[in-house]
Chains A and B, each alone.
Chain A
Amino acid sequence: MIPIELYIGLSAIIFSIGLYGLMTQRNGIRILMSVELMLNAANINLVAFSSYNADLTGQVFALYSIALAACEAAIGFAILMAIFKMKGTINLDSINILRW
């Protein structure tokens, strides 16, 4: 039986990759992909703890979390499409329309 630390370590590694991409990339779509990586790392944790504690609630909440990730991706791409229509670029360094 695989120890649970390996699952949590895999989740931490994937989360760190997502964090690195979120901090370094300047393309909007790449940042959305990094956010998806971080959400899926959380899903791995949910499923691992659910399976190792013999309680199915975590897997149900992983399903809910996947649906919320779909919502977030749809809204994010819609915002990026609106910004691209307005500015002609999705490079986030050149977008400051929300700056105070």
Chain B
Amino acid sequence: MLNKEFSFTLMGVLTTLYKFFKPRILGIVLALLFLSVILVSVVFTSWPAVDQLPQNLDDPSNIEGIGLLIFTDLVVPFEILSIVLLSSLMGAIYMAKGDGDE
């Protein structure tokens, strides 16, 4: 991007642009195509939504509801997630530790 030998002649600008876009143009085109498909499908879909966001004026936070959900309805994924965290931590430490010589 910020080359040291940047020159403001036409050929310099064109060369800089070419060097910038040559390894990136395929990625840019693919990402823009993906984004256009997603945006068109988002705009032309009627999403089901409530008309008015539910608000409890006494307690506007939803921390209590989230905590209740975690420990009642969704407690099984919570426990599974604890095992996943523990095993990934053990795996990361095992891989990063090396042979134990140093």
Contact = CB atoms under 8 A, between A and B. Distances in A.
A associates with B: yes
Interface of A: 1, 4-5, 8-9, 12-13, 15-17, 19-20, 23-24, 51-54, 56-57, 59-61, 63-64, 67-68, 70-72, 74-75, 77-79, 81-82, 85
Nearest to A85: B98
A13 B50 contact: no
Contact of B47 (A15, A52, A61, A70): A52
B96 A52 contact: no
A63 B47 contact: no
Interface of B: 23-24, 26-28, 30-32, 34-35, 38-39, 42-43, 47-50, 52-54, 62, 65-66, 69-70, 73-74, 77-78, 81, 84-85, 88-89, 91-93, 95-96, 98
What 3 A-B pairs come out closest when comparing CB atoms? A20-B31, A24-B27, A78-B92
A96 B77 CA distance: 36
B30 to A, nearest CB: 6
A52 B66 contact: no
